[in-house]
């Protein structure tokens, strides 16, 4: 194909991007116009995908990490034959459209992940490439490469300025992810203008130090140069590749190309007309000539690719039936067929324990029972495995020499770990979990939010959950973090009090395929609580009556985690003084809120206004449960460095304080 023909096809992307941004009077036309030539080569010559089935398992993954350039992706999907119509493009950035301002997973077929927070799309791509390599190692057999494809990502200067790019690209090089190919849109422009005033990194040298193959100074507007770079990238199977493409932002615009003026604003009708004239594109808004449309359409090619793969899969099924069955189950995201029996057996084992155990150890105990039965579990920790207890006896670390393992040593990369887990979950075939201290959730906060936004089954394990960790002091002692997690939409946060609640949390998280879960686990040992069969069943409801009383309670104590034992001891003391006390354990407030009102009213009767919530964290969240007549024993200031027992006394997490507060609330509500 001639350079002129390719340029015409790329100009279709430019025209659609200009037109949609102009119609919306909002958006970013510059990046789509600058990267159109690269996209034309990649999507038409190399990308293995099927517009008729965007979820075909062996498709190449394409990630637009610089998600503000979303019209590039929407144009490519539309032109390639995905179910994204011209009318959808005209509704760019409008309410309930399939073309939101940034690519949103679940809104648009063909969008592999939500991008917008810069650098995280790149991190997701690393996760997908890691998942591809691991899944291939676990399932491929001689003559049957049922998992065999590339992961491609577009990134801009902003993605590489974000610190997460260092975290994930360093790990990608260490893991030798040779099927990850990243195109860097090196246009020298960001929102504030020319980046030479704030971004002068030697990017090629930086990536070479990560053990990446780097292809520098590629003309991003020369199809032959782009093809040569992609061919070179695909030949290196032991290193990820960064292709540094020199481009002009807003390519084709006579007055705004190469300037930040076209980065995040419509070009304007007059400039669009001038640009189309300069590009020799003489068509109306959103108009694509039939020959251009035909040249772009990937429907037939995609069907052929998937058909060939299905034929391979049939042979795989015949020769390796057990592997094939497990492979198909895992990529579908379903749990084993005997899951109910697995769950029943595990719960039965956990209901008889009596020893005091830290809930971080309880989590590891549960993993030990689950690991062999749920092979899709892909664990990890941000350099804290001995503290987070995220490894079990069957954990095998993934490395270039052992790519078929089930555990990732992420190093001190909390943000990168979490965003990589999102990519792994989006890829499919795995249920990722990863651990760090609760305090360091803050490093990963935006990626935690993204797992919730994208409804991904990701399990976040956070240990050292309060001032109870002691001597490490306020830098390590979480205060507001649990509240931040609980108020995140679509995230279920569990703070269990013992082995049984921890096990229920794990089982619930595995069953929850519509969103992430977070476990808040203690460093210190906690006692096992006694439960009858009904109480055991009610743990999964998020809040339940752990200790009932005869008649109407004088006060209801609500607690989570390590404070449940404190509430139980305080209840015993109060009863000895003649008070009637009900104790509610609420390991997962979000699940409790989802229960029918009749159940919630039974656990927290509306006529009992004397309520005391006890949790070693910020208190404000709990007023929704105690009301204006109740109170909360919490901590609303930073901690101190001292032994845990001294801190608990200092901040009032004592039996004496709970009893005193309860009696005061009872007296207040008696009048």
Q: CA dihedral defined by 120, 121, 123, 128, rounded to 10 degrees? A: 150
CA distance readout (Å), 207 to 163, 167, 384, 401, 649: 14, 12, 26, 22, 51
Both tokens of 498, joined, read 């013992």
DSSP H helix total and E strand total for the chain: 27, 20
- Alpha-carbon distance of 405 to 445, in angstroms, equals 27
| CA nearest to 82, candidates 114, 121, 56 | 56
* Residue located via tokens 């067929």: 337
Do residues 422 and 454 lie in contact, with contact meaning Cβ atoms separated by under 8 Å?
yes
Residue 37 has a CB neighbour count (10 Å cut-off) of 27
Q: Which residues pair with 242 in a beta bridge?
A: 182, 214
Buried/exposed code over 567-605 (b: 16+ C-beta within 10 A; e: otherwise): bbebbeebeeeebebbbbbbbbbbbbeebeeeebeebbe
Q: Residue holding tokens 């090089």?
A: 173
The catalytic residue among 414, 501, 563, 590 is: 414
Query: Whole-angstrom Cα distance, residue 608 to residue 422?
Result: 43
Contact 543, 570 (CB under 8 A): no
What angle separates helix 70-80 from helix 30-41, to the nearest 10 degrees?
Answer: 40
Task: Clarify whether 660 is annotated catalytic.
Answer: no
Residue 556, beta-bridge partner list:
582, 611
From CA 142, how far away is CA 417, in angstroms rounded?
Answer: 32
Q: Identify the DSSP state of 266.
A: -
Give the strand pairing for 555-559 and 611-614.
parallel
At residue 579, the 3 state secondary structure works out as coil
* Active site members: 414
């Amino acid at each position: 194909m001639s350079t002129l023909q390719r340029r015409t096809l790329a100009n279709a992307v430019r025209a659609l991007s200009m037109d949609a941004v102009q119609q919306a009077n909002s958006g970013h036309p510059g990046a789509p116009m600058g990267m159109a030539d690269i996209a034309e080569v990649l999507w038409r010559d190399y990308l293995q995908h099927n517009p008729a089935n965007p979820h075909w398992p062996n498709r190449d993954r394409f990630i637009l990490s610089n998600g503000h350039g979303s019209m590039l992706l929407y144009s490519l999907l539309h032109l390639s034959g995905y179910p994204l119509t011209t009318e959808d493009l005209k509704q760019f950035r409008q309410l309930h459209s399939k073309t939101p301002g940034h690519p949103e997973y679940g809104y648009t077929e063909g969008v592999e992940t939500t991008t917008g927070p810069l650098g995280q799309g790149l991190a997701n791509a690393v996760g997908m490439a890691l998942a591809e390599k691991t899944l291939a190692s676990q399932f491929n057999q001689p003559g049957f490469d049922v998992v065999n494809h590339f992961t491609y990502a577009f990134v801009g200067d902003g993605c590489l300025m974000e610190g997460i790019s260092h975290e994930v690209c360093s790990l990608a090089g260490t893991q030798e992810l040779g099927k990850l190919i990243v195109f860097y849109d090196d246009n020298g422009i960001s929102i504030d203008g020319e980046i030479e005033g704030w971004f002068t990194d030697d990017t090629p040298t930086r990536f070479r130090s990560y053990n990446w193959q780097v292809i520098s100074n590629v003309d991003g507007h020369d199809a032959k140069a782009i093809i040569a770079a992609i061919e070179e990238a695909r030949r290196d199977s032991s290193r990820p590749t960064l292709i540094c493409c020199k481009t002009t932002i807003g390519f084709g615009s006579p007055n705004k190309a190469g300037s930040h003026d076209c980065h995040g604003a419509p070009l304007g009708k007059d400039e669009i007309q001038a640009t189309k004239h300069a590009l020799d594109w003489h068509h109306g808004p959103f108009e694509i000539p039939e020959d251009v449309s035909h040249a772009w359409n990937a429907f037939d090619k995609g069907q052929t690719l998937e058909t060939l793969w299905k034929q391979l899969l049939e042979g795989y099924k015949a020769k390796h039936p057990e592997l094939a069955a497990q492979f198909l189950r895992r990529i579908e995201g379903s749990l084993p067929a005997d899951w109910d029996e697995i769950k029943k057996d595990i719960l039965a084992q956990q209901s008889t324990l009596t020893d005091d155990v830290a809930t971080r150890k309880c989590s590891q105990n549960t993993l030990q029972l689950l690991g062999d039965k749920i092979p899709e579990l892909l664990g990890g920790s941000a350099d804290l495995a001995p503290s987070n207890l995220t490894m079990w006896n069957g954990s095998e670390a993934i490395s270039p020499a052992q790519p078929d393992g089930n555990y990732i040593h992420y190093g001190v990369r909390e943000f990168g770990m979490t965003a990589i887990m999102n990519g792994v979950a989006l890829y499919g075939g795995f249920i990722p979990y990863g651990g760090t201290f609760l305090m360091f959730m803050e490093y990963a906060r935006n990626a935690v939010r993204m797992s919730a936004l994208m409804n991904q089954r990701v399990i976040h394990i956070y240990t050292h959950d309060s001032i109870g960790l002691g001597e490490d002091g306020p830098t390590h002692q979480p205060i507001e973090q649990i509240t931040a997690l609980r108020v995140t939409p679509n995230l279920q946060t569990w703070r269990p009090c013992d082995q049984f609640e921890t096990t229920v949390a794990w089982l619930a998280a595995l069953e929850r395929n519509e969103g992430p879960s977070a476990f808040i686990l203690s460093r210190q040992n906690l006692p096992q609580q006694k439960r009858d069969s009904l109480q055991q069943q009610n743990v999964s409801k998020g809040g339940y009556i752990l200790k009932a009383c005869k008649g109407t309670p004088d006060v209801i104590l609500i607690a989570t985690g390590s404070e449940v034992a404190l509430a139980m001891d305080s209840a015993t003391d109060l009863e000895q003084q003649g008070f009637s006390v009900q104790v509610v354990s609420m390991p997962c407030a979000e699940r409790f809120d989802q229960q029918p009102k009749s159940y919630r009213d039974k656990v927290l009767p509306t006529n009992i206004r004397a309520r005391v919530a006890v949790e070693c964290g910020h208190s404000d969240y709990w007023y929704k449960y105690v009301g204006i007549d109740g109170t909360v024993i919490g901590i609303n200031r930073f901690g101190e460095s001292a032994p845990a027992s001294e801190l608990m006394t200092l901040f009032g997490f004592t039996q004496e304080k709970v009893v005193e507060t309860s009696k005061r609330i009872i007296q207040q509500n008696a009048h």
